[in-house]
C-alpha cells in the first residue's frame, strides 16, 4: 500500500507552484483595475453604496497583491476569496441577480481545481456551489435593496459578462501555456541526458529505428560512430567526479560541434557516445570521426577543466548493412572501437568487412 509520504511525493505540489501565484498576482491587479472602473460606473449610474464598495475592493486586492509579493499566500487567498464572495453577494442583493455579479463566482472553479489539493477542492467546490445557489434562491424571494433603472442594469450585466469572458479567456490561455510548457519539459527530460544535453540511450534507439526504416525503404547509406573517451576512469580518479562531469559535457559539446546538424548524437553509456550519420557511407563516417578525434587534440582541456590533462577519444566506425538491426550495426562499431582501444587508443578504426 502507498504510504502517506509516497502519496505526498506523487501528488503534484499544487500549492507550491510559483506560476499559480504569479497568475494570482496578475489577477489581483486586473481585478483592482476592474473595480476602479466599477467605482466610476456606479457613480454614473447613481448607486453610491456599490461605488464605495469598490474602494474597499481595490484596497483588498492591493493587500492581496502585496501579500503574494511577500509570499503570504494564505492571507492573499483569504483576501481574494472574501472580496469576490462579499462583492458578488452585495451586488446581487443591492441591484439584483440580473446584474450578473454571480458570474464572478464561477471564476473560482478553475482556480480551485488547479490550486487546491483534491480533498479541499471538493469541499471548496461544493461550498461555492451552495453559496451560488443560496444567492440565486434568495433573489427569488426578495427584491433588490437598491434597484437601478433597467437600462443601467443592462449596462452592468454586459460589463460583468464581458469582464468574466475576458478573464476566463486569459486564464484558459494561461493554463494552456502552462500545460504546453510542462509537456515540453517532460518530453525533454524523457529524451535527453541531463549532463550532456545529448539524446539519451532510449531516445537514440528510437531515432535509430526510424533511420533503419528509412534505410530499408530508400537504401541511403547510414554511418555509425561509437565514441569512447580514453582512460576516463583515471580522470575521475585523479581529479574527481566533478571534473569528470565537466569533461563529459565538453566532450558532448565538441562532438556536436564537429558533426553535422542532421547527425543524431546520444550518450550511449557512461563515457561512451553514439552518433548516427544519415546519408553517410563508411568512408565519410571515418572522415567525420577523424575530424572529431583531431578536434580533441586541438582543444585546450586545461582551460575547460582547470586540470592539467589531455583528453583523447577512440572511435569505432560502421555502416548500416542490409538486414542489420541497430544492435548489429552498433556491435560492429564496438568491435572496431575495441581494436582502437587495444592498439593504443586515440584512434579511429573502421569495421572489418
Ligand atoms: N564523472 C563521471 N564519470 C562517469 C559517468 N559515467 C560513467 N563514469 C565513469 O567512467 C569510467 C569509465 O571507465 P572505464 O569503462 O574503465 O573506461 P576508461 O577508464 O575510459 O578506459 P578505456 O575506455 O579503456 O580507455 C568509470 O570510472 C565510470 O565511473 C558520469 O556521468 N560522470
Query: If DSSP states are collapsed to H, E and C, what string results for 16-64?
Result: HCHHHHHHHHHHHHHHHHHHHHHHHHHHHCCCHHHHHHHHHHHHHHHHH
Res 313: pLDDT: 97
What does DSSP say about strands 272-278 and 348-350: parallel, antiparallel, or unpaired?
A: unpaired
pLDDT at 7 exceeding the cut of 60: no
Higher-confidence residue of 64 and 111: namely 64
How high is the pLDDT of residue 2?
38
Q: The C-alpha cell of 261 is what?
A: 546538424
Average pLDDT along the chain: 90
Is there a contact between 98 and 71 (Cβ–Cβ < 8 Å)? Answer: no
Give the pLDDT band of residue 174 (cuts 50, 70, 90). confident
The answer to whether the beta carbons of residues 200 and 267 sit under 8 Å apart is yes
pLDDT tens across 16-44, in order? Answer: 567 778 888 888 899 899 899 989 988 88
**Substitution candidate for ligand 1 out of 239, 270, 315, 338 with most atoms within 8 A of CB:** 270
Q: What's the confidence (pLDDT) of residue 3?
A: 42
232 pocket-lining for ligand 1 (C-beta < 6 Å): yes
The CATH T-level fold of domain 201-350 is: Alpha-Beta Plaits (3.30.70)
What was the ipTM of the complex prediction? 0.93
In the chain, where the domains are located: 4-190, 201-350
Q: Which of 127, 112, 108, 115 is nearest to 167 (CA)?
A: 108
| pLDDT for the residue numbered 9 | 40
Q: How far is the CA of 272 from the centre of ligand 1 (A)?
A: 8
Which residue minimizes the CA distance to atom 7 of ligand 1?
A: 270
pLDDT tens column, 212-253: 999 988 889 999 999 999 999 999 998 899 999 999 999 999
Q: Is the pLDDT of residue 207 over 80?
A: yes
Q: What is the pLDDT of residues 39-80, one digit of tens each?
A: 998 888 877 888 888 899 999 999 999 998 888 988 998 999
Residue nearest to atom 8 of ligand 1 (CA): 270
Annotated catalytic residue, options 271, 319, 349, 351: 271
pLDDT for position 12: 45
Which residue minimizes the CA distance to atom 14 of ligand 1?
233
Contact 131, 105 (CB under 8 A): yes
Ligand 1 contact via 57 beta carbon (within 6 Å): no
pLDDT at residue 5 above 70?
no
Per-residue pLDDT, 16: 53
Q: What span, in angstroms and rounded, lies between the C-alpha atoms of 309 and 187?
A: 36
Amino acid at each position: 500500500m502507498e504510504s502517506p509520504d509516497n502519496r505526498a511525493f506523487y501528488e503534484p505540489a499544487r500549492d507550491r507552484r510559483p506560476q499559480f501565484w504569479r497568475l494570482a498576482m496578475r489577477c489581483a491587479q486586473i481585478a483592482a483595475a476592474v473595480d476602479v472602473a466599477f467605482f466610476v460606473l456606479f457613480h454614473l449610474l447613481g448607486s453610491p453604496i456599490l461605488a464605495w464598495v469598490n474602494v474597499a475592493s481595490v484596497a483588498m486586492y492591493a493587500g492581496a497583491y502585496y501579500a503574494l509579493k511577500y509570499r503570504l499566500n494564505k492571507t492573499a487567498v483569504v483576501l481574494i476569496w472574501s472580496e469576490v464572495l462579499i462583492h458578488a453577494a452585495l451586488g446581487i442583493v443591492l441591484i439584483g441577480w440580473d446584474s450578473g455579479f454571480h458570474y464572478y463566482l464561477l471564476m473560482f472553479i478553475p482556480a480551485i481545481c488547479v490550486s487546491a489539493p483534491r480533498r479541499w477542492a471538493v469541499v471548496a467546490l461544493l461550498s461555492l456551489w451552495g453559496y451560488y445557489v443560496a444567492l440565486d434562491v434568495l433573489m427569488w424571494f426578495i427584491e433588490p435593496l437598491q434597484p437601478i433603472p433597467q437600462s443601467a442594469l443592462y449596462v452592468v450585466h454586459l460589463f460583468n459578462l464581458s469582464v468574466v469572458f475576458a478573464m476566463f479567456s486569459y486564464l484558459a490561455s494561461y493554463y494552456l501555456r502552462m500545460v504546453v510548457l510542462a509537456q515540453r519539459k517532460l518530453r525533454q527530460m524523457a529524451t535527453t541526458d541531463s549532463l550532456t544535453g545529448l539524446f539519451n540511450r532510449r531516445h537514440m534507439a528510437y531515432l535509430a529505428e526510424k533511420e533503419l526504416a528509412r534505410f530499408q525503404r530508400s537504401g541511403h547509406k547510414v554511418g555509425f560512430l561509437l565514441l569512447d573517451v580514453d582512460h576516463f576512469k583515471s580522470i575521475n580518479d585523479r581529479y574527481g567526479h566533478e571534473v569528470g562531469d565537466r569533461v563529459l559535457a565538453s566532450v558532448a559539446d565538441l562532438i556536436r560541434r564537429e558533426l553535422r546538424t542532421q547527425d543524431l548524437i546520444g550518450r550511449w553509456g557512461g563515457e561512451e557516445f553514439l552518433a548516427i550519420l544519415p546519408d553517410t557511407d563508411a568512408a565519410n563516417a571515418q572522415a567525420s570521426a577523424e575530424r572529431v578525434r583531431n578536434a580533441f587534440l586541438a582543444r585546450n582541456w586545461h582551460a575547460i577543466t582547470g586540470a592539467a590533462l589531455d583528453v583523447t577519444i577512440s572511435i569505432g566506425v560502421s555502416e548500416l548493412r542490409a538486414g542489420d538491426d541497430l544492435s548489429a550495426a552498433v556491435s560492429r562499431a564496438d568491435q572496431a572501437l575495441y581494436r582502437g582501444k587495444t592498439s593504443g587508443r586515440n584512434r579511429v578504426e573502421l569495421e572489418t568487412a
